[in-house]
């Protein structure tokens, strides 16, 4: 099934639990890009014969907007959760990923996870607003929303 809507993208992530936004050769996980484009090829742009960039493919335009819209609508957590690359996480797996981190949660991490459990997936700015934490504190927290975690 090729993903064309946010609802389909959220359903895909919920079904697989964890997916990269874009494929990465050394990470064995499905990617949302593969579902949107119908291929694992990294052909993200339309280019001239000499390689000059013309525009992003329509599929990349959808995917790039979806990475922000999915968490904004509370459908999917998106952040650098695996291998330092953008990853989509089904909300039901957030507690599991936090537990898989292996370290004891600190106060900031607990605040971040509690906010996600209560509010659902949030964008970075929304998460900072809900928790009252500064950007650096949210980004440092080793939680599934943190941009610095590596589960």
Three-class SS state of 19: strand
Provide the total of helices (H) and of strands (E) in the chain, helices listed first: 7, 5
Write down the pLDDT at residue 105: 67
- pLDDT tens, residue order, the chain (151 aa): 689 999 999 999 999 999 999 999 888 999 999 999 988 788 889 999 999 999 999 999 999 999 999 988 989 988 877 788 889 999 888 778 777 766 666 788 788 878 888 887 777 788 889 999 988 887 766 544 333 333 3
Q: What is the reported pLDDT for 79? A: 82
pLDDT at residue number 136 = 81
The string of DSSP letters for 67-112 reads HHHHHHTTS-EEEEEETTEEEEE-GGGHHHHHHHT-S---HHHHHH
Burial of 50 (0-12, 13-18, 19+ CB in 10 A): exposed
18-20/77-82 β-pairing:
unpaired
| Residue 103: per-residue pLDDT | 66
pTM of the complete model beyond 0.75 = no
| pLDDT tens digits for range 103-116 | 666 788 788 878 88
Residue 143: the pLDDT is 43
CA atoms of 127 and 33, how far apart (whole Å):
25
What's the confidence (pLDDT) of residue 149?
A: 33
Domain boundaries, the chain: 6-140
């Amino acid at each position: 099934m090729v993903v064309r809507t946010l609802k389909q993208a959220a359903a895909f992530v919920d079904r697989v639990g964890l997916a990269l936004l874009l494929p990465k050769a050394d990470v064995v996980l499905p990617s949302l890009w593969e579902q949107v484009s119908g291929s694992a090829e990294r052909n993200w742009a339309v280019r001239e014969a000499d390689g000059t960039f013309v525009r992003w493919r329509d599929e990349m335009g959808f995917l790039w907007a979806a990475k922000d819209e999915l968490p904004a609508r509370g459908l999917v957590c998106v952040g650098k959760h695996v291998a330092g690359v953008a990853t989509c996480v089904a909300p039901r797996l957030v507690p599991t990923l936090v537990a898989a981190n292996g370290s004891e949660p600190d106060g900031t991490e607990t605040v971040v996870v509690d906010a996600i459990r209560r509010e659902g997936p949030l964008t970075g700015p929304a998460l900072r607003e809900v928790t009252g934490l500064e950007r650096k504190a949210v980004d440092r927290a080793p939680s599934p929303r943190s941009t610095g975690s590596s589960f």
